[in-house]
A and B are shown apart, each in its own frame.
Chain A
């Protein structure tokens, strides 16, 4: 199946700072990628759809000014958590589009 990578795999940051998470499709071109968030002991929740060359579409309740998504190329989508707070601590996962959806390994964000 398709290979999706994420970087970093884990990150710790201080409250008020911004964190960028990268999602790369390694063996295919992705015009669309998806960003999910997973809190402990909960299921994955879709946050937004990342569209190459255009604006992302966000799910209801997700602040687009807080979670900035950039999809500047067919192999890279980035999620920037701006002015992070402890409640943003979570496991962030990206997924590919087309046919079967494949997922990255996830990024664990801890905001202190």
Chain B
């Protein structure tokens, strides 16, 4: 079973920030939080990952709570092309056997 829980769906207006939450209360000390997204009929796309510090790259920001039991992926200015299913996964750094949960279906509307 997946070690994470996410809301099944969210809406976001184009141009606004999309904040996608993820709960991972049983995360181990050596496990990272990874975020991927899957646009319809494509393979998953890597977005970002982190261990305990907040991370930012050209795609998104990742905010991890101090107790590491939850995190939030932030897309600062959502576009229609960000409409996808977003998966939050916890695993050790040399990822193997990624366990995908049901993810959050983000719908960005005009």
Contact = CB atoms under 8 A, between A and B. Distances in A.
Interface of A: 1, 4, 6, 32, 34, 36, 43-46, 49, 91, 93, 95, 97-106, 108
B51 to A, nearest CB: 13
The prevalent SS among residues of B at the interface is loop
Interface residues of B, number: 22
Contacts of A32: 96
Nearest to A1: B46
Contact of A34 (B41, B45, B98): B98
A34 B96 contact: yes
B94 interface: yes
B58 to A, nearest CB: 12
A49 B95 CA distance: 12
Given A34-B98, A43-B102, A100-B95, A93 B34 contact: no
